[in-house]
C-alpha cells in the first residue's frame, strides 16, 4: 500500500482516516502551562472546525512552527475520545524554542498522528510497569490516563521515573496526585539532589529490583534517552519480564513522519512508521550497534 494513501495509526482504534498523510491542520493554542524551566505543555484546538484529533497512546505528530520548522512530538494528552490535543515540548533547539514560547491564541500546524503506539491493551489482566526518563514521561502520560480510566482491567500499576534534578520533575502536581492513590505505585529518582531533597538519588534502573510487580505477567513500557532505555530494558529482562513484553519508544530524527525520507532509519526499520514503539525483542540488537 502506498504510504501516501495509508491511514495513519496501526490499529482499528486509531483515528478516523484522513485524505493523505501530509494533510496539515491548523491548531490554536488554547492554554500554555509552564511545566519546568524549559518545558511547557500546550493545549491545542483545531481551527478547521473538525473534531479533536484522535490518537493511540504512544503516537506522535509532526508539529510545524510556521516559518521556523517542523519537529516530531509525542502526544501527552488523554487518548480517550473528545479530549483536546496536548503536546509537552522541551526547549532544546530552534523549533522547540519557538514552540515553547507560543502564547494563547497563537497558531501552529500539525500533521498526523503517526506511528505505532504502545498497544496498552496487551497489558490487560496483568501488571503494567511504566519506566520514564526525563521528558520521556510525556509519551507515557496517555498510557497512565488510559490505564487509570479502566483501572480494574489491570493488576498492579507501577510508574518509575528518573530525571535530572527535583526542579526537572515533569507533571509534578499529577505525580503527587498519582502517588497518593492506593492502587498505583509511583517512584521518582533524580541524578543530583540538593540536601533538602528527601527523595531518592540514583539511576532509574535502581528502582526496578524493588518495584512491586510480577515479571511473568508484566507489560513494561519504557521511554527516555536511548542509553537509559538500553539499561532499563536489560534490567527488566534480568528481572524476568519477557523481552516481547518490554516496549521502548525510540527517538530518531523524523522529518517526513511517513517513511519516505529515511532520516529516522534504524537499519531496516523506519522509526516513524515501524515505531516509534518497538518490542525489546525486536530492537535489542540494534540498541547495541554503533553508528545506526
Partner 1 sequence: MTASIEGTDLHHALAAHCFTRTLSPSFVDRIVEHAALRRYAQDDVLFREGASATEFHLVLEGRVAIETHAPGRGSQVVDTVEPCETVGWSWFVPPYRWLFDARAVTDVVAVTVDAVALRGLCENDPAFGYALMQQVAQVMLERMRSARVRLLDMYGTSTR
Least Å distance, CB 129 to partner 1, is 18
Least Å distance, CB 82 to partner 1, is 30
Least Å distance, CB 255 to partner 1, is 10
105 in the Ramachandran plot: left (φ > 0), alpha (ψ -120 to 50) or beta? left
Nearer to partner 1, 11 or 164 (CB): 164
Dihedral, CA of residue 236, residue 238, residue 239 and residue 241, to nearest 10? 60
Q: Is the peptide bond before 54 cis (omega within 30 degrees of 0)?
A: no
Cell numbers 535530572 correspond to what residue?
164
Nearer to partner 1, 24 or 92 (CB): 92
> Alpha-carbon distance 129 to 158, whole Å?
5
Question: How far are the Cα atoms of 8, 117, 253 from residue 203, in angstroms, in the given order?
Answer: 36, 26, 26
> Alpha-carbon distance 187 to 202, whole Å?
12
- Enumerate the H helices of 1-100 as residue ranges: 94-100
- Measured in degrees and rounded to the nearest 5, phi and psi for residue 245 equal -105, 5
Least Å distance, CB 139 to partner 1, is 14
Please answer whether residues 163 and 169 qualify as being in contact, where contact means their C-beta atoms are separated by less than 8 angstroms: yes
Nearer to partner 1, 177 or 263 (CB): 263
Least Å distance, CB 164 to partner 1, is 4
Least Å distance, CB 75 to partner 1, is 17
Q: Is the peptide bond before 276 cis (omega within 30 degrees of 0)?
A: yes
Nearer to partner 1, 95 or 283 (CB): 95
Edge-to-edge order in the sheet of strand 246-249 = 200-201, 185-190, 157-163, 127-133, 218-223, 246-249, 277-279
Nearer to partner 1, 62 or 147 (CB): 62
Nearer to partner 1, 42 or 120 (CB): 42
Q: Which residues bind partner 1 (CB under 8 A)?
A: 69, 71, 90, 92-96, 133-135, 162-164, 168, 189, 191-195, 197-203, 206, 210, 224-225, 227-228, 231, 253
Dihedral of alpha carbons 59, 148, 223, 133, sign: positive
Strands 107-114 and 127-133: unpaired
Nearer to partner 1, 84 or 166 (CB): 166
Least Å distance, CB 213 to partner 1, is 17
Amino acid at each position: 500500500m502506498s504510504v501516501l494513501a495509508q491511514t495513519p495509526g496501526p490499529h482499528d482504534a486509531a483515528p478516523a482516516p484522513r485524505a493523505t498523510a501530509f494533510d496539515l491542520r491548523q491548531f490554536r493554542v488554547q492554554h500554555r502551562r509552564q511545566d519546568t524551566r524549559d518545558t511547557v505543555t500546550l493545549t491545542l484546538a483545531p481551527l478547521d472546525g473538525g473534531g479533536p484529533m484522535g490518537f493511540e497512546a504512544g503516537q506522535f505528530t509532526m508539529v510545524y512552527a510556521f516559518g521556523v520548522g517542523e519537529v516530531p512530538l509525542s502526544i501527552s494528552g488523554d487518548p480517550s475520545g473528545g479530549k483536546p490535543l496536548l503536546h509537552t515540548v522541551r526547549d532544546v533547539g530552534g523549533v522547540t524554542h519557538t514552540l515553547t514560547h507560543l502564547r494563547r491564541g497563537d497558531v501552529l500546524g500539525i500533521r498526523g498522528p503517526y506511528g505505532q503506539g504502545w498497544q496498552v491493551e496487551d497489558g490487560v489482566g496483568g501488571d503494567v510497569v511504566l519506566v520514564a526518563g526525563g521528558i520521556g514521561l510525556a509519551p507515557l502520560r496517555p498510557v497512565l490516563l488510559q490505564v487509570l480510566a479502566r483501572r480494574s482491567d489491570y493488576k498492579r500499576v507501577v510508574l518509575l521515573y528518573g530525571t535530572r534534578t527535583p526542579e526537572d520533575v515533569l507533571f509534578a502536581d499529577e505525580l503527587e496526585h498519582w502517588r497518593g492513590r492506593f492502587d498505583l505505585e509511583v517512584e521518582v529518582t533524580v541524578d543530583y539532589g540538593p540536601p533538602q531533597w528527601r527523595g531518592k538519588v540514583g539511576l532509574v534502573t535502581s528502582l526496578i529490583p524493588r518495584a512491586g510487580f510480577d515479571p511473568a505477567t508484566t507489560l513494561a513500557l519504557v521511554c527516555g534517552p536511548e542509553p537509559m532505555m538500553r539499561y532499563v530494558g536489560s534490567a527488566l529482562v534480568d528481572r524476568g519480564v519477557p523481552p516481547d513484553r518490554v516496549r521502548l519508544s525510540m527517538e530518531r530524527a523524523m522529518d517526513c513522519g511517513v517513511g519516505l525520507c529515511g532520516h529516522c532509519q534504524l537499519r531496516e526499520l523506519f522509526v516513524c512508521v515501524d515505531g516509534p514503539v518497538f518490542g525489546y525483542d525486536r530492537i535489542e540488537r540494534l540498541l547495541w550497534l554503533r553508528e545506526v
